């Protein structure tokens, strides 16, 4: 099986070294990480390295704990060198956040150390804890130091979107618009299993984890963004799934693509039951899904657990946005995985 998903292996390991000529070109890496026992969630930590502000990459991060405790950061910070100790340009970093590709499509590491803002998911839902890179910090917000280090071993081949010029030339105009929301260029997504070390509140603990990591180099116009639902998880028995879907247009057409990894075989899939964001609630939202593939219809139960909310998020055209852990059950096997959803504010009901 091609673990590179049709991309050239070195793409995953060769970070952009110098400021690109195109101010819209970006390199992005992000990780969603969850403790196997459900006691900790990092529903996205990512770097957006954009040509226009190359000297100061933006990084965003969410940390969620039982009881509704959340920590959040969104800021620009000085760009770190791409050079690793082995001479490769395999590092993407800014400020206290660093990702490193150790082996393309097989092994990555991450390290984050910073003092960031703390509140609760309820305060996020109420609109009182809005932390964005260009927004004023919430008045009186508590600051908490946190350190997270993780080693990530990929658990399934890369699910890739190769949207470089040759692929775009074969698309319809509607398909090209949706491709732009993924990014004109290339993108890879992989579920992983790994180990992590978390230091917070003066205590350090190590734990087994699972999650999803993304790496892309692309130009990404977001003007046509109309919402989405994105889910992925890796299970203890070796199975995995992932998909992303956008709401259908008036004619029923849309982007809806995914996969199932089972018994060492890759199955292309399409979601037929999609839990678009409708309920704004800290946890307990039913996010069960169905995927159609050559295996037939695969049904996976899901419920949100530890999450972060971004009400009227400027990064998603003013929509409500939820980035969360979810507890998934597939034929009796349980795992924690990720879900990210965006929907227009008027379609959402607050149930805090």
Rounded to an integer, what distance in angstroms lies between the CA atom of residue 94 and that of residue 53?
A: 12
- What's the pLDDT band for 222 if we cut at 50, 70, 90? confident
Per residue in 53-72, pLDDT (tens digit) is 999 999 999 999 999 999 99
Asked if residue 207 has pLDDT above 80, the reply is yes
Residue 47 confidence (pLDDT): 98
Rounded to an integer, what distance in angstroms lies between the CA atom of residue 314 and that of residue 304?
A: 23
Domain extent, residue 192, equals 9-350
The full DSSP string for 164-197 is SHHHHTTS-HHHHHHHHHH-EEEEEEEEEEEEEE
Per residue in 307-345, pLDDT (tens digit) is 999 999 998 999 999 999 999 999 999 999 999 999 999
The helix/strand/coil state of 137 is coil
- What's the pLDDT band for 221 if we cut at 50, 70, 90? confident
Rounded to an integer, what distance in angstroms lies between the CA atom of residue 306 and that of residue 39?
A: 8
In a domain, 231, yes or no: yes
Strand (E) or helix (H) holding 125: helix 121-125
Rounded to an integer, what distance in angstroms lies between the CA atom of residue 58 and that of residue 236?
A: 34
In a domain, 159, yes or no: yes
Structure pTM?
0.96
In a domain, 182, yes or no: yes
Residue 141 confidence (pLDDT): 86
Question: Across all residues in the chain, what is the average pLDDT?
Answer: 95
Nearest C-alpha neighbor of 105 from the set 11, 226, 201, 229:
11
Q: How far apart are the first and last CA of the chain?
A: 45
Asked if residue 136 has pLDDT above 80, the reply is no
Asked if residue 183 has pLDDT above 90, the reply is no
Asked if 184 and 168 count as a contact pair (C-beta separation under 8 A), the reply is yes
Per residue in 264-301, pLDDT (tens digit) is 999 999 999 999 999 999 999 999 999 999 999 999 99
Asked if residue 130 has pLDDT above 80, the reply is yes
In a domain, 2, yes or no: no
Pairing of strands 279-280, 289-293: unpaired
Residue 115 confidence (pLDDT): 97
For the chain, give the percent of residues with pLDDT over 90: 87
Asked if residue 224 has pLDDT above 80, the reply is yes
Asked if residue 134 has pLDDT above 80, the reply is no
Average pLDDT over residues 180-191: 91
- What Rg value do the Cα atoms of the chain yield, rounded? 19
Asked if 120 and 69 count as a contact pair (C-beta separation under 8 A), the reply is yes
Q: Is the dihedral of CA 269, 273, 279, 285 positive or negative?
A: negative
Average pLDDT over residues 107-122: 97
In a domain, 66, yes or no: yes
The full DSSP string for 102-124 is EETTTEEEEEEEEEEEEEEHHHH
Average pLDDT over residues 21-41: 97
Asked if residue 44 has pLDDT above 90, the reply is yes
Rounded to an integer, what distance in angstroms lies between the CA atom of residue 129 and that of residue 123?
A: 6
- What's the pLDDT band for 197 if we cut at 50, 70, 90? very high
Residue 171 confidence (pLDDT): 86
In a domain, 1, yes or no: no
Residue 296 confidence (pLDDT): 98
Asked if 36 and 208 count as a contact pair (C-beta separation under 8 A), the reply is yes
Rounded to an integer, what distance in angstroms lies between the CA atom of residue 337 and that of residue 106?
A: 19
Tell me how many domains the chain contains.
Answer: 1
In a domain, 189, yes or no: yes
Residue 157 confidence (pLDDT): 98
For the chain, give the percent of residues with pLDDT over 70: 100
Average pLDDT over residues 6-16: 96
Asked if 85 and 315 count as a contact pair (C-beta separation under 8 A), the reply is no
Q: How many residues in the chain?
A: 352
């Amino acid at each position: 099986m091609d673990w590179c998903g049709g991309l050239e292996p070195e793409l995953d390991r060769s970070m952009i070294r110098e400021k690109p000529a195109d101010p819209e070109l970006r390199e992005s890496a992000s990780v969603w990480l969850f403790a196997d026992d459900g006691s900790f969630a990092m529903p996205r930590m990512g770097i957006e390295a954009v040509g226009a502000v190359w000297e100061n990459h933006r990084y965003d991060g969410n940390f969620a704990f039982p009881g509704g405790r959340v920590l959040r950061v969104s800021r620009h910070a000085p760009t770190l060198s791409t050079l690793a100790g082995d001479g490769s340009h395999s590092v993407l970093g800014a400020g206290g956040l660093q990702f490193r590709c150790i082996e393309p499509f097989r092994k990555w590491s991450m390290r984050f150390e910073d003092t960031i803002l703390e509140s609760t998911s309820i305060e996020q839902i109420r609109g009182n804890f809005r932390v964005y890179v260009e927004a004023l910090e919430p008045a009186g917000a508590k600051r908490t130091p946190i350190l997270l280090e993780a080693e990530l071993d990929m658990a399934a081949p890369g699910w890739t979107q190769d949207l470089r010029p040759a692929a775009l030339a074969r698309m319809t105009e509607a398909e090209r618009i949706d491709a732009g929301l993924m990014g004109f260029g290339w993108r890879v997504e992989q579920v992983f299993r790994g180990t992590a070390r978390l230091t917070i509140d003066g205590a350090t603990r190590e734990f087994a984890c699972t999650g999803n990591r993304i790496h892309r180099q692309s130009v990404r116009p977001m003007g046509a963004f109309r919402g989405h639902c994105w889910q992925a998880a890796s299970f203890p028995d070796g199975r995995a799934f992932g998909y992303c879907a956008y709401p259908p247009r008036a004619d029923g057409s849309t982007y809806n693509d995914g996969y199932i990894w089972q018994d060492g075989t890759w199955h292309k899939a399409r979601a037929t039951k999609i839990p678009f964001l409708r309920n704004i609630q800290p946890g307990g939202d039913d996010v069960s899904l169905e995927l159609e593939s050559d295996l037939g219809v695969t049904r996976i139960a899901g419920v949100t657990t530890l999450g972060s909310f971004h009400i009227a998020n400027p990064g998603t055209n003013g929509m409500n946005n939820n980035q969360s852990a979810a507890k998934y059950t597939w034929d009796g096997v349980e795992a924690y995985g990720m879900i990210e959803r965006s929907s227009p504010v008027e379609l959402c009901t607050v149930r805090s």
